[in-house]
Each structure stands twice: as structure tokens, then as C-alpha cells.
Amino acid sequence: MVLAMAKIRTQTDNDDLVIRAHTNPDALGRLYDLYYQRIYRFCLCRLFSKETAEDITSAVFLAVARGISTFEGQTESDFRNWLYRIAANQANSYIRKTTRRKELLTEAARLMQIKRATVTDDPPELDWPTLHTAISKLKLKYQSIIILRFFLNLEFEEIGKILKARPSTVRVALHRALRKLRNHLQTVLDGGQ
């Protein structure tokens, strides 16, 4: 009972933090501390490179700083969804705008080759560069869904709110994304890269 009360109490505190963050830099700073690591992880999973992930994380929080005063959400969950939406959009826009995608793929492929070179006769195993290479070949929307679902452990409802889609749509999209990913992975593991 005490634990349950404590949980409710914490949640209320964070909601209050979101409301105060509209005007108060300290409250915004505390929200930053809470979410920095999650957003960085999301960006890293999407973009593979640490430097790029840091750049995009910066862009996300600077956008938050500029837009928080007009942000209408009242709860922490609203804030979290908003934050991930910005992060997803920033990552997509980065990939679209730059030719970095190719470089990321090349970098991932290079790492993969280095790794493979050390293990000669064994069947190829799934590692992070290989998986990222395969994910990068998916549509941007599919990439976001896979990262949010499996790397950040979000529920379909939350992903739906972030991507402005119905949970059932997210579920179908995820199914399709996994099917495509399986094909891509097979190609990559077969040496198709």
C-alpha cells in the first residue's frame, strides 16, 4: 500500500515538473536529466554513430527548449511522447537530408567485415552492426517502430501516440517491418552486403 502510494506520488511530482517546465528552467533541467539517456539511446539505435547520436540529441533538447513554453501537454506521458516524436522526426530528417545514411551503412558494414574476418569458418552470427545495417534498409517509419518497441521497450499505445497512429496500425506496421527485416538480415548474413 505504501509502495503504491509512493508510486502515485512520484508520478504526480513528474507531472507537476512538466507544468512548471513551461516557465521554470530548473524544472526543465530536471526533465532533461530524466530523459537525456533515453533520447541518446534512441538516437544511437537509429543512427548507429555516437557522434551523430549526440548531434541529434542536442537538436532534440534545443527544440524542446524553444517549444516548451507553447507545449500544451500537462502530464509526463504527454511530455515523453512529445520528446520521442521530436527525436524520431529529427532522426528521419537527418537521414533524409544528408548522405550520411550511406556512410552509416558503410561504417556498419566495415565493422561487420572486421568482425567476420576474425571468425573465419563459423556461420555468421547476428551482431549489432549487422542488425543495424538491416534495420537501416527499412522505411524510416519502420525503423522508428522497431527501435521504440524493442530497444526502448515502449508499448504499442505509446508508440502510436508518438507516431500519431492507432495502436493496431503500429502492430501491423511492426509485423511488416519484422518480415522485411528478416529478409534483409538473411541477405546481409548471406554476404549480400
Partner 1 sequence: MFKNESDFKKLVDQLDIEAKSNPAHRQNLRRQMLSVFNETRQSQRLYPVATGVRRIVARTILHSRITKVAAAVIALALLVPLTYGTAAIIKSLVGTVEADSFKGRFTLDRDIHINLQVGTKQEHRIVTAGDIRFFKEGEQLLGTLRCSVSSWPKFTWRTRVVLLTVEGDVLTSTEHVRENGGVNPTGHAHWCGLSVHFSLCSWHDVSQAEAFRVSFERVPDEMETTADAWVESTQLPVVHGRVTDPHGEPIANATVQIREERKPGQLNISAPDVRTDKRGYYSFDGIEWPYRVGVLVYAENPSSEGYRHQYMRFNKVLEGSQEVDFNFGPFPKGNAILSGQVVEPNGTVIEEFNVDVRLNVDWKDYSIKYLYQFGIKNPFVASDGRFEIADLPAGVYKVSVIPTKNEVIDLAAYTGIRHYLCDLVDGERMELSEQHALEKVWYGRVLFDDGAPAVLDLPAVRAHIIKWEEGFPEGQTLATVDGEGYFAACISDEVMERLLSGRAWLTIAVSHSVWRSHIQKDKFPAELLSLHRDKAGAVRVTRPHTYYGRILYENGRPAVPEVMPWPGAKVYVAIRYTPATATDGGLTEELGDIDSQGYFAVCLTDEQLERLRSGTYQIGVAHPSYEDAMTTYGMGTFPCEILATEASQAKGYRLPYEKMSCEFRNLKQQLESADKLKELNLALSAYCADHADTFPIMLEELRPYDVNDLLTWLKENVEYLGAGQVGTAQQGEEIAVAYDKALLDKTERRGTNVLFMDEHVEFCRAKRLQRLGIDCLEE
Q: Where along the sequence are the contacts to partner 1 (CB under 8 A)?
A: 23, 25, 28-29, 32-33, 36-37, 40-41, 44-45, 50, 54, 57-58, 61-62, 64-66, 68-70, 72, 96, 102, 126-128, 131, 137, 139-140, 150-151, 174, 178, 180-182, 185-186, 189, 192-193
CB of 181 to partner 1, least distance (A): 8
Residue found by looking up cell 508510486 in the block? 7
The grid cell for 173 is 506496421
CB of 128 to partner 1, least distance (A): 5
Please, what is the end-to-end C-alpha distance for the chain in angstroms? 55
Contacts for 13 with CB less than 8 Å, ≥ 6 apart: none
Residue found by looking up cell 519484422 in the block? 178
Burial group, residue 70, by CB count within 10 angstroms (0-12, 13-18, 19+): exposed
**Nearest to partner 1 of 75, 140 (CB atom):** 140
**Nearest to partner 1 of 12, 186 (CB atom):** 186
**Nearest to partner 1 of 165, 178 (CB atom):** 178
**Nearest to partner 1 of 36, 157 (CB atom):** 36
CB of 129 to partner 1, least distance (A): 10
Would you say 72 and 28 are in contact if contact means Cβ atoms under 8 Å apart? Answer: no
- Residue type present at position 177: A
**How many Cβ atoms are within 10 Å of 143's Cβ, its own excluded?**
23
Would you say 46 and 147 are in contact if contact means Cβ atoms under 8 Å apart? Answer: yes
CB of 25 to partner 1, least distance (A): 5
Would you say 172 and 118 are in contact if contact means Cβ atoms under 8 Å apart? Answer: no
**Nearest to partner 1 of 53, 162 (CB atom):** 53
The grid cell for 10 is 512520484
CB of 37 to partner 1, least distance (A): 6
**Nearest to partner 1 of 61, 79 (CB atom):** 61
